[in-house]
Structure 1
Amino acid sequence: AEILARDGAVVLVTRSSPTDEVSLIDRPRQAVDRGADLFVSLHNNALPDGSNPFAKPRGFTVFYYHPHSLALGRALHAAYKDKLPLPDEGLQWGNLLVARLSAVPAVLIENAYMILPDQEARLNDPAFRKDLAQAAAAGLRAFVLEAGEKARR
């Protein structure tokens, strides 16, 4: 949020800590009610019980639902690929509540896997969290610049 604010963006945070209790259904509603132009939901991934976390390389994933969210997803996915040292699980369509309920371009990003010790250690490292923030900011910047270019055409 700080990086985006320095770039002039107005950032509306629906949860400022893991203990904030805001339901999944209320998060996109809050964003739209507060006049957001975009909705980005940041998460850290896990796996269902019985899944082998080491069966394949695991890392970040960017999900979108609506076609009008695809360009946002592409921009964020490209920035994550460029800036993060994690396996790329791709840009994927997903029937996820927070992306589905948003009237504005919306994505859900799974940053890393908490179940994998090396990724959990990275998530606990302030430098890596800064890398995540910079990747997200770069993707959002690219999306906004591209949208501005299209609007001028």
Structure 2
Amino acid sequence: MRMLKGLLGALMVLPMYASAEQIGEVSTVFKLMGPNDKIVVEAFDDPKVAGVTCYLSRAKTGGVKGGLGLAEDRAEASIACRQVGPVSFRDELEEGEEVFRERTSLVFKTMQVVRFFDEKRNTLVYLVYSDRVIEGSPQNAVTAIPIMPWPEKR
């Protein structure tokens, strides 16, 4: 029982990440063995900001290694976040808070999205980048959402 309480406590302190839903994909390189290289488009909702959805496009490596989950995906990604409903904050926001993370290699490389709030302009700013344990990549993309009143349905 004590072990179960400890496990539940550990899970509660883990950061809250959004999970992505695949919207579509296109093949970019034909592979004779294993899946093709492709670009995937995924969507996720900000876990702390209701009314905001982000769309990511990123490369996925195919072939035998890619099919087995052993390939390292490229660092390039693109992001577009949009207000899709009335914006409300579910919890206090932290500057540079990670809202999405996905593994892009077996162990050492991840892609993440962090959120900033530009209070002066009443705008949410989202940054996507990739890092590696030893050496990160400066490649990144940014998107911004000015928080606007949402029309009431009649």
TM-score, L = length of structure 2: 0.26
More strand by share: 2
Q: Which has the higher contact order (CA 8 A, sep 6+)?
A: 1
TM-score, L = length of structure 1: 0.26
